[in-house]
Amino acid sequence: METEGEKLSGVLSGIAGEYFVAAELSKRGLLASITLRNTKGVDILCSNAEASKSVGIQVKTKRGSARQWIMHKKAVDYHAASLFYVFVNLNDNQRHPDFFIVPSKTVAGYIKKSHAAWLIQPGKKGKVHKDTSMRMFKDPEEKYLERWDLLGLQSAV
């Protein structure tokens, strides 16, 4: 447990996020397997209990509680119907993490559109923004908070 003034490293935050997501999926009766660290673009493979449907999950974790996550520009082209992002806010270990479940195609479209808009807006002192490889995904309205149903793996109960 973090002590006052002590910060969890980025690597440990990321690992914690993956385990929190895997635990949440398991709690919901799904089979979740964390992949090896060198697996490109998929942190967790998840299937329903019958193993008749599966999805890949990319986990993005933040220590705080802001509803925005930094992405790489390659996420614009990295999407599939069976690929999802689970954005995790660890909430500075003050309460249970928040999970935002978003289809990868939605993330790709959002970061492409929002980055293009950012590029044409004037920056500090009216200067043009310089293009970078960083993108930002935001969910301030909490549209995707706890939307595990979007994975399409739950059986009708």
Give the domain ranges of the chain.
10-151
Alpha carbons 115 and 121: distance in angstroms, whole number:
10
Alpha-carbon gap, residue 153 to 32, rounded angstroms: 11
Arithmetic mean of pLDDT over the chain:
90
Residues with Cβ within 8 Å of residue 24, at least 6 apart in sequence: 99, 148
In angstroms, rounded to a whole number, what is the distance separating the alpha carbons of residues 130 and 48? Answer: 44
What is the pLDDT, as a whole number, of residue 38?
67
What pLDDT score does 157 carry?
A: 44
pLDDT given at position 154: 77
| pLDDT score for 4 | 43
Q: How large is the average pLDDT for residues 117-133?
A: 87
Q: Mean pLDDT, to the nearest integer, of 54-74?
A: 93
Fold held by 10-151: Trna Endonuclease; Chain: A, domain 1 (3.40.1350)
- For the chain, the distance separating the N- and C-terminal CA atoms, rounded to the nearest angstrom, is 37
H helix or E strand, kind and range, residue 17 = helix 10-27
Residues 58-69, mean pLDDT to the nearest whole number: 92
User: Can you give the pTM of this predicted structure?
Assistant: 0.88
- Enter the tokens of residue 155: 């059986």
